[in-house]
Structure 1
Amino acid sequence: MPTIEPHRHRQVAESFGVDAERYDRTRPSYPEAMVDRIVGASPGTDVLDVGAGTGIAARQFAAAGCTVLGVEPDARMAAFARRGGLEVEVSTFEAWDPAGRRFDAVVAGQAWHWVDPRAGAAAAARVLRPGGRLAVFWNAFQAQPEAAEAFAVVYRRILPDSLAAAGFGSAAAALDGYLTMCATAADGIGAAGGFGEPEQWRFDWDVTYTRDQWLDQLPTFGGNTQLPPEQLARVLDGVGAAVDALGGSFAAHYTTVVVTAEVRSGTPTAG
């Protein structure tokens, strides 16, 4: 089986800004316990947010007392984040010039799979202060089993070749995919050098989505951002009917998975 390398698919990585306001409004944030643990394990409060998007994670770190700089390749997402008061520079992380700046933590929420895992880890090592921490994390979504199967039926009918058709929101599909991303991130950290042994953290939490809340979020997913409007409308109609059949809402479980490592002393500095 060929290796899947999402970071090579820039057209998908940079498609989320098509509706930045919806993305920010509907995408979930991250557990406060995760933010607190990352901040507590870092030597200070200067944070670089890679793939900052609209600023969902950045705002949480700022609320925890951090000074946050975002790096985001999509100018539309960066502009939205700036309107919310965040400082964001437009660039891919691999091409970004830190101009001698140093940070206590480099974080990436729902974005590190769009970064070359080895080059990204090496770039993080160069901008981290001694004892600084790289922490990359994802929210793995798992719908209740009845909803997951009903959604998969919709995708099998409308988009039979999509990943969602194989089991949208099922526990196995969600965790397997993100654990693969975690393993790739850990391998990249190891290959880049400059870090201690990567650790994996996990945080579990639950939410209930109404029909309207879920249909509002659905267009922001990577598999849907590039669909023709008529095809997206069919997906939304089908999923909406499925949620109606479940009583108008469904339960979902999120597992937030984190790969993190501390930079070793003596790592070459940036600038």
Structure 2
Amino acid sequence: MPTLPREQPGPSPAQPHEVRRMAESFGVDAQRYDQARPGYPDALVTRIVAASPGPDVLDVGCGTGIAARQFQAAGCTVLGIEPDARMADVARGRGLRVEVAAFEAWQPADRAFDAVVAAQSWHWVQPVAGVVKAARVLRPGGRLAIFGHVYEPPAEVAEPFAAAYRKVAPDSPFTGQPARRPIDFYQSGYAKFADAIRETGQFDAPEQWRYDWEHPYTRDQWLDLLPTTGGLTRLRPDQLARILDAVGAAIDALGGSFTMNYTTLATTAARADTN
């Protein structure tokens, strides 16, 4: 499927953090988003918690709280920051404390945290300003962890999606993107996150983590998730229906299901102790 400007870092016609309408389009169907989107590898959550000096976590762009709930289950106290009130409402309904604001404008007062995490969301934050603000609210030794999924469906699913998208949205700047992209493309995006961290001079050397895993999808499960991805959230109902019909037919041809190969990438660094 074309890599639209949603979860995954990389070049786009405008920097993602400048495209707020896209960033705030995921709340169109926040309940579907919460139900359809996958969680994160438990090993990643455990590693972040173990590498942090305490249990207080700030989740930037928490959405409906998918990652936040995993950190809560790991024993953390989590505060979410989310610019979309619709997403925040769902997160609150699932037991998460959320303040509605863009991270750059959010007022932390005198609060401090042991970890600042961003799951599928950091590319919506102004890169260097976001790192500086994370350093401001982290305790010495506190950890910034930026992570997200890379998921490219099999070519048998990705190519019909790309063809249908080009037909229904020919003027979209994203229609010229390839149906699938190599992992190196996404790793370069996380390397840019690391560059921004280094630029501030407020963190120890950043690390790159990687987790590979699989998840099976039935036809209905994938067609439930697909409308929650960027670029599709703003299509008209008739446009979306045509894409879903094409993708559904492709999955039917595979026997009604397929296995997604996921990679979860993370860029992470500890706040330097400047005392």
Q: TM-score, normalised by structure 2?
A: 0.91
- Is this contact kept in 2: 1:117–1:184, CA < 8 A? no
With 110-119 and 227-236 compared, the bigger mean Cα shift is at 227-236
**Residues 157-196 of structure 1 mapped to structure 2, 5 A cutoff:** 157-160=167-170, 161=172, 163=174, 166-168=177-179, 170-172=180-182, 175-196=183-204
| Structure 1 residue 187: Cα displacement | 1.8
- Is this contact kept in 2: 1:47–1:66, CA < 8 A? yes
- Is this contact kept in 1: 2:104–2:129, CA < 8 A? yes
The answer for the alignment partner of 2:116 in structure 1 is 106
Cα deviations across residues 224-270 of structure 1 (Å, max 9, x unaligned)?
Answer: 01111111111111111111111111111000000001100127xxx
Q: 2:41 aligns with which of 31, 41, 45?
A: 31
Residue identity opposite 2:114 in structure 1: D
- Is this contact kept in 2: 1:122–1:193, CA < 8 A? no
Q: Distance in 2 between matches of 1:63 and 1:211?
A: 30
The answer for the alignment partner of 2:220 in structure 1 is 212
The answer for the alignment partner of 2:78 in structure 1 is 68
| Structure 1 residue 171: Cα displacement | 4.7
Residues 164, 202 of structure 1: CA spacing in aligned structure 2 closer, same or farther, 3 A cutoff?
A: farther
Q: Distance in 2 between matches of 1:195 and 1:79?
A: 33
Q: Distance in 2 between matches of 1:2 and 1:227?
A: 18
Cα deviations across residues 37-86 of structure 1 (Å, max 9, x unaligned)?
Answer: 00011111100000000000000000000000000000110111001110
| Structure 1 residue 185: Cα displacement | 1.2
- Is this contact kept in 1: 2:212–2:262, CA < 8 A? yes
Q: How many residues align?
A: 264
- Is this contact kept in 2: 1:159–1:165, CA < 8 A? no
Equivalent pairs: percent with the same residue? 60
| SS at structure 2 position matched to 1:92 | coil
The answer for the alignment partner of 1:119 in structure 2 is 129
| Structure 1 residue 2: Cα displacement | 8.2
- 2:255 counterpart of 1:244: no
Q: Distance in 2 between matches of 1:220 and 1:165?
A: 21
Q: 1:5 aligns with which of 15, 23, 35?
A: 15
Cα deviations across residues 134-192 of structure 1 (Å, max 9, x unaligned)?
Answer: 00001000222322233323333333445366334x252xx344323312211211122
Q: Distance in 2 between matches of 1:165 and 1:45?
A: 44
| Structure 1 residue 10: Cα displacement | 0.3
| Structure 1 residue 3: Cα displacement | 7.6
Q: 2:264 aligns with which of 256, 262, 269?
A: 256
With 232-241 and 27-36 compared, the bigger mean Cα shift is at 232-241
- Is this contact kept in 1: 2:157–2:247, CA < 8 A? no
Show structure 1 runs of 5+ residues with no match. Answer: none
Residue identity opposite 1:166 in structure 2: Q
The answer for the alignment partner of 2:4 in structure 1 is none
| SS at structure 2 position matched to 1:166 | coil
| SS at structure 1 position matched to 2:211 | strand
- Is this contact kept in 2: 1:152–1:165, CA < 8 A? no
- 2:158 counterpart of 1:148: yes
Q: Distance in 2 between matches of 1:4 and 1:195?
A: 28
Show structure 2 runs of 5+ residues with no match. Answer: 1-10
Q: TM-score, normalised by structure 1?
A: 0.92
Q: 1:97 aligns with which of 85, 102, 107?
A: 107
Superposed CA RMSD:
1.7
Q: Distance in 2 between matches of 1:70 and 1:164?
A: 33
